[in-house]
A and B are shown apart, each in its own frame.
Chain A
Amino acid sequence: MFELLNISPQVLMGQLLLGLINGSFYAVLSLGLAVIFGLLNIINFSHGAQYMMGAFVAWMLLTYVGIGYWPSLILAPLIVGAVGIVLERLALSRLYHLDHLYGLLLTFGVALIMQGLFRNYYGISGQPYNIPDALSGGQNLGFMFLPNYRAWVVVASIVVCFGTWFMIERTRLGAYLRAATENPVLVGAFGINVPRMIMLTYGFGVALAGFAGVLAAPIYSVNPNMGADLIIVVFAVVVIGGMGSILGAIVTGYGLGLIEGLTRVFYPEASSVVIFVIMAIVLMIKPEGLFGRTS
């Protein structure tokens, strides 16, 4: 079969592994989007800009304060999440009773403003951010050279994805959250502070974007447009997985990373389109998405 496709099993293995690595970013980003949409019904278009902020905050911590990669991995998502909470309190919370479209427009506008500000201050060429010493170098797997940092990205993203899924689907806190989405008035009547919970959920979703940004900083160029290039693909991932489905976002994130990786071998020109083709097919066959619940 490999001969038939004119590709060696080694190359195929290598490409599958790379697909998994890219899928890790898709999974973490689409997870944040799915959490925000599933629990708040907000289409968070500033997710890409918040991912970019995560990378920039890590770079700023290193450049101005001298704080390295590991503390940044915690600090940067907290800072970005806090900025998200401010946005939620000041603006988003006023839009919950309106159509989805208003939230989308607001977050899209915020994304443009943030990108513009960063571009104005830091230029467009990007800033260097090195791989932490503990993770430099790599392993020779026989079929490919796997940089240690990429292996770390896969592990970190799986841990974060599983943790988030577990928290929302299997814990008491998650149950409150899901209940608050179904019927905020009733949950409020039980004495739970629903607005605060929603605020923290948005902050958490945004922090996930910031976390992905810190993960990406050492391997992609830290520049103001890094999120804008990625956000459309991530939205497609969420749509394919089923809007608001946590598990759907995770599984589709990894799955589409793999499919995109394979396309890069067989027909590289199509690699940026393949996800959208799949999205179109999924929408025709199962409009609620692969893991979506029919309402």
Chain B
Amino acid sequence: MIRKLAMGATALTMLGTIPAMAQDTIDVKLGVLNDRSGVYADLSGEGSVVATRMAVEDFDAAAHGLNVEIISADHQNKPDIGSNIARQWYDVDGVNAIIDVPTSSVALAVAAITAEMGGVMLNSGAGSTELTRGQCQPTTVDWTYDTAALANGTGGAMTTEGGKKWFFLTADYAFGHSLEENTAAVVEANGGEVVGTVRHPFPATDFSSFLLQAQGSGADVIGLANAGGDTVNAIKQASEFGITQAGQSLAALLMFVTDVHALGAETAQGLNLTEAFYWDQNDKTREWSARFEETFGSKPTMVHAGAYSATMHYLRAVAETKTTEGPKVVAAMKAAEFDDPLFGKGYVRADGRVIHDMYLFEVKAPGDSKGEWDLYNQKATISGEDAFLPMIDECDFTKNAG
């Protein structure tokens, strides 16, 4: 499949280059690498390819002297498969930038290869803070979110609103532990305390007994440090066992609009969550999301939006620098602030972390929801500087460049 795509793309590139030479166009090849069949297929998957294509069209690449091709592949959430594809893309297929890459373990592997091969990694799907901290790379741009921003958003807001006592329901693997740790730090910094934790196996189907333990702990807030199907099941069952109705609140620490859609407003109502983008925020997001829905069939997630905006900013930098050399393009991306239709004003920090506002949302009651995707009320805006962790010195690539 990849080979076929690559061959097709190569053929297209050749067609494109012959007349283009005279006008001095630059060939840009973008690779969207994500999960196309597993747990993250709905929140990234084909939607990210659609979003990337929209960015190329909206940027009007041809008018800027760019000849852009897009290819895509499924990394199946496996670091070894992701690494192989990334290597082949850079080595054989001449890819200039890899986009999306959900699943932190895959993203970290691809980021390292990208730096080695002089490409660009435009991360939208992966959440680990390691991408711009412990394992930061000069060629990584981490666009959409990370676990620290989610913890700051949901954890901070709920603690200051009076949810002082927290009980964590944590998926028993690296991601769950780190999300719990990040959030616990935010809770304690805001004067709250953690009264208990239960580590559940990953993946789990039945959460009732864990939820009952959480209920018995007398906590104000039950923090769900898990993802995808686990979060959906835990919320569904919390509502069934009358936990939310009895006054305890749930904090979904990582949740996408597709998960809320899967739950339905009836079950998810009142839930607090943090996202970087929601389709119904303003005229620009609505206009873009409507176009996205026309092609793709459902509303975009923040990961799709991130793929669009990151590609847009990347193409702008390529057009300006007239090169596709990774380090130079990323340096140009860091030099220019942006005012994006989907993410508002922001900038790429020296460590590759993109600083933009994050938003705290509350899921609407079914009575207030006017359509199947009319799901959130915006509760608060968290400025980028507050949401994301401060830069660590080792990752300041303006100082450590070269």
A116-145 contacts to B, CB under 8 A, are: 116, 119, 123-128, 130-131, 138, 144-145
B236-260 contacts to A, CB under 8 A, are: 236-237, 240-242, 246, 258-259
- A123, A125, A150, A221 — which one has the most chain B CB atoms within 10 A of its CB? A125
Q: Are B205 and A264 in contact (CB under 8 A)?
A: no
Q: Are A125 and B261 in contact (CB under 8 A)?
A: yes
Interface string of A269-294 (1 = CB under 8 A from B): 10111000000000000000000000
- Shortest Cβ distance from residue A20 to the other chain B in the assembled complex, whole angstroms: 11
Interface status of B210 (Cβ within 8 A of chain A): yes
* Contact residues in B for A205 (Cβ distance below 8 Å): none
Q: Are A130 and B242 in contact (CB under 8 A)?
A: no
Which of A76-84, A86-94, A183-191, A223-231 is near enough to bind chain B? Answer: A223-231
* Contact residues in B for A225 (Cβ distance below 8 Å): 39, 229
A14-54 contacts to B, CB under 8 A, are: 14-15, 18-19, 21-22
- Shortest Cβ distance from residue B176 to the other chain A in the assembled complex, whole angstroms: 12
Q: Are A128 and B172 in contact (CB under 8 A)?
A: no
B205 contact from A229, A261, A265, Cβ within 8 A: A229
Determine the distance from Cα of A19 to Cα of B199 in the docked complex, in whole angstroms: 18
- B204, B206, B213, B264 — which one has the most chain A CB atoms within 10 A of its CB? B206
Interface status of A147 (Cβ within 8 A of chain B): yes
Q: Are A261 and B209 in contact (CB under 8 A)?
A: yes
Q: Are A272 and B204 in contact (CB under 8 A)?
A: yes
Q: Are B212 and A14 in contact (CB under 8 A)?
A: yes
Interface status of B37 (Cβ within 8 A of chain A): yes
* Contact residues in A for B200 (Cβ distance below 8 Å): 268, 271
- A119, A127, A130, A219 — which one has the most chain B CB atoms within 10 A of its CB? A219
B263 contact from A119, A128, A138, A150, Cβ within 8 A: A128
Interface string of B26-44 (1 = CB under 8 A from A): 0000000000011111110
Q: Are B216 and A128 in contact (CB under 8 A)?
A: no
* Contact residues in A for B263 (Cβ distance below 8 Å): 128
* Contact residues in B for A229 (Cβ distance below 8 Å): 203, 205
Interface string of A244-279 (1 = CB under 8 A from B): 000000000000000001001100110111000000
- Shortest Cβ distance from residue B334 to the other chain A in the assembled complex, whole angstroms: 35
Interface status of B13 (Cβ within 8 A of chain A): no
* Contact residues in B for A265 (Cβ distance below 8 Å): 209, 213
* Contact residues in A for B216 (Cβ distance below 8 Å): 11
Assess A130 versus B266: contact at CB under 8 Å? Given A125-B232, A225-B229: yes
Interface status of A220 (Cβ within 8 A of chain B): yes
Interface status of B162 (Cβ within 8 A of chain A): no
Assess A144 versus B229: contact at CB under 8 Å? Given A124-B39, A221-B262: no
Q: Are B201 and A272 in contact (CB under 8 A)?
A: yes
Q: Are B237 and A125 in contact (CB under 8 A)?
A: no
Q: Are A149 and B240 in contact (CB under 8 A)?
A: yes
Determine the distance from Cα of A10 to Cα of B206 in the docked complex, in whole angstroms: 20
- Shortest Cβ distance from residue A274 to the other chain B in the assembled complex, whole angstroms: 10
- Shortest Cβ distance from residue B218 to the other chain A in the assembled complex, whole angstroms: 13
Interface status of B377 (Cβ within 8 A of chain A): no
* Contact residues in A for B210 (Cβ distance below 8 Å): 264, 268
Interface status of B208 (Cβ within 8 A of chain A): yes
Of all chain A residues, the one with the shortest Cβ separation from B235 is A221
Interface status of B391 (Cβ within 8 A of chain A): no
Assess A145 versus B209: contact at CB under 8 Å? Given A125-B262, A268-B198: no
A226 contact from B205, B228, B236, B266, Cβ within 8 A: B205
Assess A271 versus B205: contact at CB under 8 Å? Given A125-B42, A221-B232: no
Q: Are A131 and B229 in contact (CB under 8 A)?
A: no
Of all chain A residues, the one with the shortest Cβ separation from B39 is A124
Interface status of B104 (Cβ within 8 A of chain A): no
- Shortest Cβ distance from residue A244 to the other chain B in the assembled complex, whole angstroms: 26
Q: Are B199 and A119 in contact (CB under 8 A)?
A: no
B291-321 contacts to A, CB under 8 A, are: none
- Shortest Cβ distance from residue A211 to the other chain B in the assembled complex, whole angstroms: 17
B217-240 contacts to A, CB under 8 A, are: 228-229, 232-233, 236-237, 240
Determine the distance from Cα of A126 to Cα of B229 in the docked complex, in whole angstroms: 8
Q: Are A124 and B266 in contact (CB under 8 A)?
A: no
* Contact residues in A for B41 (Cβ distance below 8 Å): 119, 123-124
* Contact residues in A for B43 (Cβ distance below 8 Å): 125
A269 contact from B37, B199, B212, B241, Cβ within 8 A: B199
Of all chain B residues, the one with the shortest Cβ separation from A263 is B209
A174-230 contacts to B, CB under 8 A, are: 219-221, 223, 225-226, 229-230
Determine the distance from Cα of A116 to Cα of B38 in the docked complex, in whole angstroms: 10
* Contact residues in B for A14 (Cβ distance below 8 Å): 209, 212
- Shortest Cβ distance from residue A146 to the other chain B in the assembled complex, whole angstroms: 9
Q: Are A269 and B208 in contact (CB under 8 A)?
A: no
B233 contact from A128, A130, A138, A220, Cβ within 8 A: A220
- Shortest Cβ distance from residue B172 to the other chain A in the assembled complex, whole angstroms: 6
Determine the distance from Cα of A128 to Cα of B206 in the docked complex, in whole angstroms: 16
Q: Are A11 and B212 in contact (CB under 8 A)?
A: yes
Assess A125 versus B259: contact at CB under 8 Å? Given A147-B241, A147-B242, A219-B236: yes
Interface status of B154 (Cβ within 8 A of chain A): no
* Contact residues in B for A15 (Cβ distance below 8 Å): 209, 212
Interface status of B267 (Cβ within 8 A of chain A): yes
Interfacial residues, chain B to chain A (CB-CB below 8 A): 37-43, 172, 198-201, 203-206, 208-210, 212-213, 216, 228-229, 232-233, 236-237, 240-242, 246, 258-259, 261-264, 266-267
Further pairs besides A221-B236, A264-B213: 15, Cβ < 8 Å: A22-B206, A123-B41, A124-B38, A124-B41, A124-B42, A124-B228, A125-B42, A125-B258, A138-B240, A145-B241, A219-B240, A220-B233, A261-B209, A269-B201, A271-B201
Enumerate 12 A-B pairs (CB-CB under 8 Å) in ascending A order: A18-B208, A116-B37, A124-B228, A124-B229, A125-B258, A125-B262, A138-B242, A147-B242, A219-B240, A223-B262, A269-B172, A269-B201
State the 10 A-B residue pairs at the shortest beta-carbon distance, nearest first.
Answer: A128-B264, A272-B201, A125-B262, A264-B209, A126-B262, A123-B42, A125-B42, A221-B232, A145-B242, A125-B258
